[in-house]
Amino acid sequence: MDLATFLIQCLNAVQYGLLLFLVASGLTLIFGIMGVINLAHGSFYMIGAYMAYALAPWVGTTLGGGFFTTLAIGLALSIVLGYLLEWGFFSFLYEREHLQQVLMTYGLILVFEELRSILVGNDVHGVAVPDWLAGSVPLGDVMTYPTYRLFISGVCIAVVFGLYIVLARTRLGMMIRAGASNREMVQAMGVNITFLYRVVFASGVALAVLAGMIAAPVSSVYPNMGGQVLIVSFVVVVIGGIGSVGGALLASLLVGLVDTFGKVFFPEAAGVLVYLLMAAILLWKPEGLFRQT
């Protein structure tokens, strides 16, 4: 494998890993802070992708906007969706056992999938890359790399920094980190836990939707995309340690590397490699790399 190909695969791995991080960070925070296993988290990713597909024409004709307008509207909608979902459904899950949470969110997946089927149908769709991002960046003499994929990685890195600043440098972030390590104590110290939960949940939803929206041009929009990203996100959360955003970042990149290079070197076993990675890490650290709770 020559240097240019290796570089391309590395960039692909990082891009995939960072996208995974967007989804997994929400999952790990929701579980770490609220103690809720949310199986429907993959559905938010799917909703984001379908929103990118469905909103783009409407935004183009009615509002005259482009890609970023679609993104902004999608994010705003997702925050509203997250807020309403938390208020109307997830707030009832906090006191329940994990098994009940698993099954109720599993029911939610079915509901989301069928609603999507009713509203948008079951077809596979493509989403166009905006023109100004549609080119390629040269790598060395012969190879090029799509600009849009670099854009995806760029957005994700911006999100990583944003998350870091919020979590490490703001009061809200402090409460979130405290809630992740000891929920009851935070409540006992008088923090408005309802508001905190709603913010965390809406943020998790928004992150997953954002990931779906920016990934749509690259991965296309198809019915089972939510389920696929959900399972891999679980692997990331297990490897990284529940509640740990830093762990989720490291684990996402690891999974991205293993998956991408696995597809190159062992195409038939590619689907299995990520789980072997998880098994290896669990042998070493049964509660993930950076356990929090």
Partner 1 sequence: MSGQPSGRDSRHRWQSLIPLLALLALAASVPVFGGKYYVDLAAKVMILAIFALSLELLVGQTGLVSFGHAAFFGIGAYAAALLSPQSGPASIWLLLPAALAAAGLYALAVGALSLRTRGVYFIMVTLAFAQMAYYVFHDTQLGGGSDGVYLYFRPQVDLAGVRLLDLDRPHVFYLFVLAALVLTFALLATMQRSRFGRALAGIRVNETRMRAAGFATFPYKLAAFVVAAMLAGLAGFLNALKDGYVNPEILSWHQSGAVLLMVILGGIGSLRGAVLGAVAFVGLQELYQSQALFGALARHWQLPLGLTIIALVALMPKGLIGLPAQMRARR
Beta-strand runs (E) in 171-234: none
How many CA within 13 A on the CB side of residue 144?
8
For residues 62 and 284, which CB has a smaller minimum distance to partner 1 in the complex? 284
What is the distance between the alpha carbons of residues 255 and 181, in angstroms, rounded to a whole number? Answer: 25
What is the distance between the alpha carbons of residues 270 and 264, in angstroms, rounded to a whole number? Answer: 8
Residues 110-139 that bind partner 1 (CB under 8 A): 110-111, 113-115, 117-118
For residues 47 and 109, which CB has a smaller minimum distance to partner 1 in the complex? 109
Nearest to 95 by CA among 177, 40, 36: 36
- In DSSP notation, 31-83 reads HHHH----TTHHHHHHHHHHHHHHHHHHIIIII---HHHHHHHHHHHHHHHHH
Out of 6, 58, 94, 106, which residue is the one contacting partner 1 (CB under 8 A)? Answer: 106
For residues 122 and 170, which CB has a smaller minimum distance to partner 1 in the complex? 122
CB-CB neighbours of 76 under 10 Å: 11
Q: Are 293 and 179 in contact (CB under 8 A)?
A: no
**Using the rule CB under 8 A, is 37 a contact of partner 1?**
yes
**Using the rule CB under 8 A, is 99 a contact of partner 1?**
yes
Tell me the per-residue interface mask from 46 to 85 with partner 1, x by CB under 8 A, - otherwise.
Answer: ----------------------------------------
**Using the rule CB under 8 A, is 142 a contact of partner 1?**
no
What is the distance between the alpha carbons of residues 67 and 50, in angstroms, rounded to a whole number? Answer: 14
**Smallest distance from partner 1 to CB 282, Å:** 6
Tell me the per-residue interface mask from 232 to 271 with partner 1, x by CB under 8 A, - otherwise.
Answer: --xx-xx---x-------------------------xxxx
| The token pair that represents 97 in the structure block | 């056992």
**Smallest distance from partner 1 to CB 198, Å:** 20
List of residues contacting partner 1 (CB under 8 A): 31, 37, 92, 96, 98-100, 102-104, 106-111, 113-115, 117-118, 227, 231, 234-235, 237-238, 242, 268-272, 275-276, 278-279, 282-283, 286-288
